[in-house]
Homo-oligomer: A and B are copies of this chain.
Amino acid sequence: MSGPLFARVALVGIGLIGSSLARGVKAEGLSSEIAIFDASPDARAAARELGLGKVEDSLAAAVTGADLVIIATPIGAYADLGPELARHLKPGAILSDVGSVKQAVVRDLGPHVPEGVHFIPGHPIAGTEHSGPRAGFAELFKGRWCILTPVPGSDTAAVERLQTFWQRIGSMVEVMEPRHHDQVLAITSHLPHLIAYTIVDTATNLEESTQSEVIKFSASGFRDFTRIAASDPTMWRDIFLNNREAVLEILGRFTEDLTALQRAIRWGEGDKLFDVFTRTREVRRGIIDAKQA
């Protein structure tokens, strides 16, 4: 299957994900026209320089006449975008996004969506620790999952069209309830990031002499956490503020498990440690088998 899927795609937010989408849409010929808006003049200038599409200086100009609008800003910006989007969305258009939390997106954007517009939130499970329009690349989504969370009553044909869009960009697509999405991502993504941010923060609070050694000898495990903890601060602030319940719930479980291991270390209970460390090894095998390693 080939040829354009949408006459005009509008991308709102042209950071790592938005600019990768622009490149992917172009590379796969998914749209004859790519319209771009970003609230940051710097990002718009970079997008122009990179030739990512037709860069507009207002949200209205980018969104007007688009058949597919994808919001790729930090989630915290959605609430403000809603009313303005509502005035310019074309009947029959699909409105989607790439945010890492889905219930909050339904809550913030849902009420603004005009009748006749298909609102289908989405979340590509892809990214790097780099941010901004220059960090994007067309292959970012290849072989990765994209989760769509249609709201009740969504038009099946529109969902299928968006599914085809992501498949042609290289992703595998899964459809899920927004609430379930937020629970699964709390453990697979939000908790790991919170933990990585914390451990790197703990290291930065050490005496300065030790800090330089932490960097020097980081290859022993710490390094992997610093990569995760280099992710975009605004994006992650908004994720934690908008998936609070699921994150606090999984964090509670994590803290219980950590306390149990701490106690085993204090009391020299080697068997308990060994059992946990053996069990966790199996999970890695599962990921390798699922070709997500």
Q: Which of A16-24, A50-58, A114-122, A226-234 contacts B (4 or more CB under 8 A)?
A: A226-234
Give the residue name and chain of the B residue nearest to A279 (CB).
B204
- CB pair A237–B202 under 8 Å, yes or no, is no
Partner of A257, one of B125, B191, B202, B255: B202
Q: Provide a sorted-by-A list of 10 A–B residue pairs whose CB atoms are within 8 angstroms.
A: A187-B203, A197-B276, A215-B283, A227-B293, A229-B277, A229-B280, A233-B274, A244-B268, A248-B266, A251-B258
Q: Is the interface of A mostly helix, strand, loop or mixed?
A: helix
Q: Which of A28-36, A88-96, A205-213 contacts B (4 or more CB under 8 A)?
A: A205-213
Q: Which of A77-85, A154-162, A284-292 contacts B (4 or more CB under 8 A)?
A: A284-292
- CB pair A202–B220 under 8 Å, yes or no, is no
Q: Does A145 contact B (CB under 8 A)?
A: yes
**Least distance between A26 CB and chain B CB atoms (Å):** 24
Collect the chain B residues with CB atoms within 8 Å of residue A276's CB. Answer: 197-198, 201
| Cα–Cα distance between A292 and B189 once the two chains are bound (Å) | 25
Collect the chain B residues with CB atoms within 8 Å of residue A237's CB. Answer: 270, 273-274, 277
Instruction: Please provide the chain A residues from 155 to 193 with a CB less than 8 Å away from any CB of chain B in the complex.
Output: 174, 183-185, 187-193
Q: Does A137 contact B (CB under 8 A)?
A: no
Q: Beta-carbon contacts of A99-141 to B below 8 Å, as 1s and 0s? A: 0100000000000000000000000011101000000000000
Give the residue name and chain of the B residue nearest to A272 (CB).
B237
- CB pair B202–A286 under 8 Å, yes or no, is no
- CB pair A284–B221 under 8 Å, yes or no, is no
**Least distance between A208 CB and chain B CB atoms (Å):** 12
- CB pair B204–A195 under 8 Å, yes or no, is no
Q: Does A278 contact B (CB under 8 A)?
A: yes
Q: Does A265 contact B (CB under 8 A)?
A: yes
